[in-house]
Amino acid sequence: MTVRHHVSDELLMDYASGSLTEGWSIAVATHLALCPECRVRLFRMEAAAGVLMECAAVETSDVDMSWAQMQKRMAGAGQALASHKKSQEPVRAKTAVLPEPLRSYLGTDVDKLKWKPLGRGAYHIPIRTGDSETSVRLLRIPAGKPVPEHSHGGRELTLVLSGSFHDETGEFRRGDLEDADDTLEHQPVAGKDEDCICLAVTDAPLRFKSRLLRLIQPVLGI
């Protein structure tokens, strides 16, 4: 599996610093479970931050010593990174469609989930969190079928867990993360081979072009 659409540096740094709310954190953590490349990026960020924090504690009168210490610690971080990358090589999602930590939120994998209909063959499962700022749900879109055309009232992270979808920005497969904001108007279409199962996190309701969908949107909760 090759992940082509990754979490942004900004979002990854916020995750590393612990400043993300629970909903966004679930999306980033689940993406990390599927993306070795982003796990390495996270490790680098955390290692660099650790070195800078240690060096900031050195008194300013010991500038030469501080630089020597930084070089030594960065070399150590490089060795740790090489070891970390090697340890990550055999990591795989195995047979589970839902990796941790997402699977723990749902209590099982997709084959035992109880889906709720959204209409036109689509289904969803709202995921409860302690986060009042975001809405988190699992979506299942029938193979070859489109999602109603919409824009966004805020940010939306969509992580593909099974199958694929494509829209105006490209094609997204397992592990790929689409980061959309209020400038994007699109109509994702599930791949023809299988249903697309994805995790969607939003901080505002979607803006559907269809008047009918806008009328029933409060009932659907999307």
CATH class (in words) of the domain with range 9-88: mainly alpha
Which pLDDT belongs to residue 69?
53
Q: Is 62 helix (H, G, I), strand (E, B) or coil?
A: helix
Q: Which amino acid is at 78?
A: G
**DSSP tag of 40:** H
CATH of domain 102-220: 2.60.120.10
pLDDT tens per residue, range 70-99: 445 445 544 444 444 444 444 444 578 999
Sheet with strand 122-127: strands edge to edge: 116-119, 122-127, 135-141, 196-202, 156-162, 177-180
* In the chain, domain spans: 9-88, 102-220
Could you tell me if 73 and 51 are in contact, meaning their C-beta atoms sit under 8 angstroms apart? Answer: yes
Sheet with strand 189-190: strands edge to edge: 170-173, 164-167, 189-190
* CB contact set of 47 (below 8 Å; sequence gap of 6+): 77, 80, 81
Predicted model pTM: 0.79
pLDDT lower than 50: segments of the chain: 60-61, 63, 65, 67, 70-71, 73-74, 77-93
Which pLDDT belongs to residue 94?
52
Strands 150-152 and 170-173, how do they pair? unpaired
Which pLDDT belongs to residue 172?
97
